[in-house]
Amino acid sequence: MDISGNGVIARVPTELIEGAVKRSVNADPMPHAAHLARAGWSRRQTTEWLYAHAWRTLADLKRGGKVEPAFYASPALVDWLYRDAPQGRPAALPGAGDVAGVQDGDETVRVHRGLGPEDIMLTVGGGDAGGHSAFFPSWSRGRSVPFVTKEIPE
């Protein structure tokens, strides 16, 4: 596992439409990256694990005010919201005034941040002191730009 992060240039997937989720960054300190390397975990394994465990139920997102009427106006966003739903996409979607209301089945719908493990960019930074990782969500869903990282020589 390359724990240096040298020369990593991450792209924003072009298949995402305006208003959709963009990439997020997970920044790990050197001790965390070294621990993962000793355990034999690759970047891919790490992002797969993070993606598999980074989700909220649709009900939680609705209660938190994170599901907007525009989500239901876009077929691509509806597909994203319900892609992991045990019963699939509901036949009848909520109306514009009802999107915040928790519907039957919303507790079982897992909504991931992003479309897959490739939407998580791993970075390594800092020194040997401390063991605090950081997560940086994308801030501008409709105006996101590609992430560019560069090694800073010691």
User: Averaged over 10-24, what is the pLDDT?
Assistant: 41
Q: What is the per-residue pLDDT for 109?
A: 92
Bridge partners (DSSP) listed for residue 24: 120
User: Averaged over 18-45, what is the pLDDT?
Assistant: 76
Please give the model's pTM, rounded to 2 decimal places: 0.69
Q: Which of these, 43, 34, 37, 58, lies nearest to 107 by C-alpha position?
A: 58
Neighbours of 8 (CB within 10 A): 17
pLDDT band, very low/low/confident/very high, at 96 (cuts 50, 70, 90): low
Q: What is the per-residue pLDDT for 83?
A: 87
Contact 36, 46 (CB under 8 A): yes
Q: What is the per-residue pLDDT for 84?
A: 85
Does the structure show a pLDDT above 50 at 9? Answer: no
